[in-house]
Structure 1
Amino acid sequence: MGLVGESGCGKSTAARVILQLLKATSGKVYFKEQEITSISSEDLRKRRPQMQMIF
């Protein structure tokens, strides 16, 4: 997946929410068909190596 947009449109914020570095205020985030918005920090730690971000 790629996020493209003008400066200030929220690309980095969206990436931080996907990685759960920021808490989403509404909605859900799915990664590989699993809802990850409310998974435990241990499960998130196991999934993070599969989530690679390039800024």
Structure 2
Amino acid sequence: MTARVAHPFCLISTPAGFAARHSIYFWPIYTGQAIPMDSWRSRMWLDTWV
């Protein structure tokens, strides 16, 4: 059985991809744009954030 080696690209792209998706998802909240109430509620993951 051979050991699997993580490629450096995977180690960099995975956290960077998460950060990019997170930033895009929360962009309306960061910039203060008006969004529908359902969209706003989906972005409030914890009850303490409200």
TM-score (norm 2): 0.29
Question: Which structure has more helix as a fraction of its residues?
Answer: 2
Higher relative contact order (CA 8 A, sep 6+): 1
TM-score (norm 1): 0.27
If you compute each CA radius of gyration, which structure gives the higher value, 1 or 2? 2
Question: Which structure has more strand as a fraction of its residues?
Answer: 1
